[in-house]
Amino acid sequence: MAAAARAAECGLRVGIVDDNFSLGGQIWRSGSGKDQNHDKRNHPQPNVDERNDEPNDDNQNREAARWAHRVRISGVTSLCGLRVVHQPDPGVLLAENLDGFCELTYDKLVLATGARERFLPFPGWTLPNLMGAGGLQAMVKCGLPIQGKRVVVAGTGPLLLAVASYLRQHGAEIPVICEQASWKSLAKFGLTLFSWPQKIIQGFQLKRDLAGVSFAANSWPLAAHGQKTLESVTISRAGKNQNIPCDYLACGFHLVPNIELPLLLGCAVDNGCVQVDDLQTTTVPSVFCAGEPTSVGGVELALIEGQVAGLAAAGHASGARKLFGKRQKARRFARLLDRTFRLRSELRSLSLPDTIVCRCEDVSYSRLRQHRSWRAAKLHTRCGMGPCQGRVCGPATQFLFNWNPDSVRPPVFPARVETLAAVTAQSQLQHSEVTGGRS
């Protein structure tokens, strides 16, 4: 939204494509399930300024409303509920929605594909009602009733606190928040926050929202139990095992940048993040990247990088340069997050031999352990070849075995056969035009 508004304000013709049914990405996307259905059929316009589902998050709502307003008045076209799955030719994207597919052409492209949660496999992690922390929050935002439910929140990263606070505000009981980072790292993190007064204010707000909720550092889930659905979770809490009855386990081990589309377009990646220069340009000319794919740094960094990318795409480099100082500070925060919430090695032994690691293709830890690389595991076990295309098991195997997913192929998301057939038909047509129909 920041990139689009800034570029459009410079006079460019701009469109935003987002596979959510309303603009706003992971934090600001709006409304209940009912509203969203209504939205996707009749109002494919940003509605982040109309939301009221986060009673104690007024600052975020105001910021969201400001950007939604800028997007609207600068004349940006919003294409919501549309997902980019392929780039059949340079400058052409193939996208599909509920009704069909379309091609989008561009001169300049800003990729802002966000991040997803990292899951680590442990016994019972595939039971119903065990969800990603942000995933559960998103489901509650879409209407899942959480009032009176007991939710254990576990994993690592600041998202756990944001989610626990959100769920509590919506009536959930939170028996404990388990954070794998040590008290020592968290204390250092707290002290360093004095360079970011806004974060301290957010921290105090969360502390107030979560008053009375038990917070356990050096703690992580060991196993989830239940017959048909989750009934309880065993956690390791500062070295001791404890069983906690619960209705949901909201579990996420920080975030992983969504780099599949940038990789498909040929953008260079370093250490799991898209490489960009000062103006957010990737290694592919005319393709920019902003937000979580360049480093997981939260909404402030995403907004600054988005603005730099939008201004740079519009050829207004001097405007972009004015934001470099703010961006540098926000990037320092991203590095701090990375250091504080780095995964401890004990988590590598959470999986038992029969623990499923690739849940799309039912591949267990013991089968994967026999292989030396992601590629070999894929060829022999189909790990990473199901609907999620390695989005879940890829980061898990990277942590467990130090494997690197080595290639991305189109389509980057599961796509309908008619969409793929259209690409094939078109490339055949182009081929026959080139060869004069002789092939």
The answer to whether 357 contacts ligand FAD (rule: CB under 6 A) is no
Cβ-based neighbour number of residue 204 at 10 Å: 10
Do the beta carbons of residue 24 and residue 48 sit within 8 Å?
A: yes
Kindly tell me which of 17 and 313 has the beta carbon lying closer to ligand FAD. 17
C-alpha–C-alpha distance, residues 324 and 332, integer Å = 12
Residue type, 356: I
Measured from the CB of residue 364, what is the shortest distance to ligand FAD in angstroms?
A: 27
C-alpha–C-alpha distance, residues 308 and 321, integer Å = 8
Helices 58-73 and 2-9: crossing angle, nearest 10°? 40
Residue from 5, 8, 16, 25 in contact with ligand FAD (CB under 6 A): 25
The answer to whether 131 contacts ligand FAD (rule: CB under 6 A) is no
Give every CB contact of residue 380 below 8 A, 6+ residues apart in sequence: 370, 371
**How far, rounded to the nearest angstrom, does the alpha carbon of residue 371 sit from its chain's CA centroid?**
28
The answer to whether 174 contacts ligand FAD (rule: CB under 6 A) is no
The answer to whether 140 contacts ligand FAD (rule: CB under 6 A) is no
The answer to whether 64 contacts ligand FAD (rule: CB under 6 A) is no
Stretch that binds ligand FAD, among 20-28, 102-110, 144-152, 320-328 (CB under 6 A): 20-28
The answer to whether 17 contacts ligand FAD (rule: CB under 6 A) is yes
Do the beta carbons of residue 86 and residue 26 sit within 8 Å?
A: no
Residue from 26, 61, 218, 307 in contact with ligand FAD (CB under 6 A): 26
Cβ-based neighbour number of residue 143 at 10 Å: 12
How far separated are the first and last CA of the chain, in Å rounded? 45
Q: Across 160-280, where does the E strand assignment appear?
A: 176-179, 214-216, 219-225, 232-237, 240-245, 248-253, 255-257, 269-270, 273-274
Residue from 97, 127, 135, 193 in contact with ligand FAD (CB under 6 A): 135
**Residue count at the site for ligand FAD (CB under 6 A)?**
29
Alpha-helix runs per DSSP H in 57-125: 58-73
Bridge partners, residue 274, by sequence = 269
Measured from the CB of residue 71, what is the shortest distance to ligand FAD in angstroms?
A: 13
List the x/- string, 241-260, binding to ligand FAD by CB under 6 A. --------------x--x--
List the x/- string, 262-301, binding to ligand FAD by CB under 6 A. -----------------------------xx-----xx--
CA atoms within 13 A on the CB side of 89: 11
Residue type, 349: S
The answer to whether 84 contacts ligand FAD (rule: CB under 6 A) is yes
Kindly tell me which of 10 and 334 has the beta carbon lying closer to ligand FAD. 334
Residue from 4, 12, 76, 261 in contact with ligand FAD (CB under 6 A): 261
Contact residues: ligand FAD, CB under 6 A: 17-20, 25-27, 83-84, 112-117, 134-135, 137-138, 159, 162, 255, 258, 261, 291-292, 298-299, 302
